């Protein structure tokens, strides 16, 4: 429980595969809206598998959670905990339950964990991702920038 009776985390299991793909699709589908449905599904499936392989290769010890809201799967959290940082590899929430404080609650819980452990929380975000505003409100600061991504870091204290 995350201090909020409506929001909880549980470990991902094999039965979550269809939900995880649907969540991925919901966050990317507008990028490919101009493609015919069949091509769009193939491309989204390929990208989902590529992303999953990339995450597994770069973060082999990561923990994968389903974010539940009112007892229903509502999002995903992929974390990589190291001695010096908590890396938010991926966090996503279904469009129909966005702006209900779900990601905020999950992230605030991680920030409290990191503060207690004396470590930083780091993540990458697309320049155009609307979640960037949330990260900045929570106190994340830019540490690096590429053509498409911002690297952000949160540290407790001054």
CATH of the domain at 117: 3.40.630.30
85 and 120 Cβ atoms separated by less than 8 Å = yes
Task: Write the CA distances from 155 to 86, 123, 138, 142, integer angstroms.
Answer: 11, 12, 11, 12
How confident is the model at residue 24, as a pLDDT?
A: 94
**How does pLDDT run across 34-65, given as a tens digit for each residue?**
888 888 889 999 999 999 999 999 999 999 99
> Does residue 146 belong to any structural domain of this protein?
yes
Counting Cβ atoms within 10 Å, is residue 157 exposed (0-12), middle (13-18) or buried (19+)?
exposed
> Does residue 91 belong to any structural domain of this protein?
yes
Report helix, strand or coil for 62. Answer: coil
Q: What is the pTM of this model?
A: 0.90
> Does residue 1 belong to any structural domain of this protein?
no
Q: What percent of the chain has pLDDT over 70?
A: 96
Which of 15 and 3 is assigned the larger pLDDT?
Answer: 15
Q: Into how many domains does the chain fold?
A: 1
> Does residue 94 belong to any structural domain of this protein?
yes
> Does residue 25 belong to any structural domain of this protein?
yes
> Does residue 2 belong to any structural domain of this protein?
no
Among candidate residues 54, 26, 19, the one with its CA nearest the CA of residue 40: 26
Q: Which domain holds residue 70?
A: 7-154
């Amino acid at each position: 429980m995350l201090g909020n009776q409506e929001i909880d985390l549980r470990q991902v299991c094999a039965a979550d595969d269809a939900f995880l793909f649907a969540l991925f699709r919901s966050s990317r589908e507008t990028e490919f809206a101009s493609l015919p449905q069949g091509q769009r599904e193939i491309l989204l499936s390929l990208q989902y598998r590529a992303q999953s392989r990339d995450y597994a290769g770069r973060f082999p010890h990561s923990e994968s959670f389903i974010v539940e809201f009112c007892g229903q799967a509502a999002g995903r959290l992929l974390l990589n905990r190291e001695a010096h940082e908590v890396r938010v590899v991926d966090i996503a929430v279904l469009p129909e339950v966005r702006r209900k404080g779900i990601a905020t609650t999950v992230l605030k819980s991680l920030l409290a964990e990191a503060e207690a452990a004396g470590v930083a929380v780091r993540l990458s975000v697309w320049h155009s991702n609307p979640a960037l505003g949330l990260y900045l409100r929570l106190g994340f600061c830019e540490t690096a920038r590429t053509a498409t991504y911002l690297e952000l870091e949160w540290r407790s204290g001054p």
